[in-house]
Amino acid sequence: MRKLASIIIVGALLLLVGGGLFLATWKIPVPATEVEYTIPNDRFSR
């Protein structure tokens, strides 16, 4: 039982480290369109 638990923990750690490395090295494409919002002055408190 202890061996199974350690295998599961090591597998979960490998998945977390692998996922972190994937996200750190992934070249996410920039959005192709420019987004511009006009925020009314009423939304800002003075």
Q: What is the per-residue pLDDT across 1-46, written as a single tens digit (0 to 9) for each?
A: 899 999 999 999 999 999 999 999 999 888 888 888 888 887 787 6
pLDDT at position 15: 98
Concatenated DSSP letters of 1-46: -HHHHHHHHHHHHHHHHHHHHHHHH--PPPPSS----PPPGGGS--
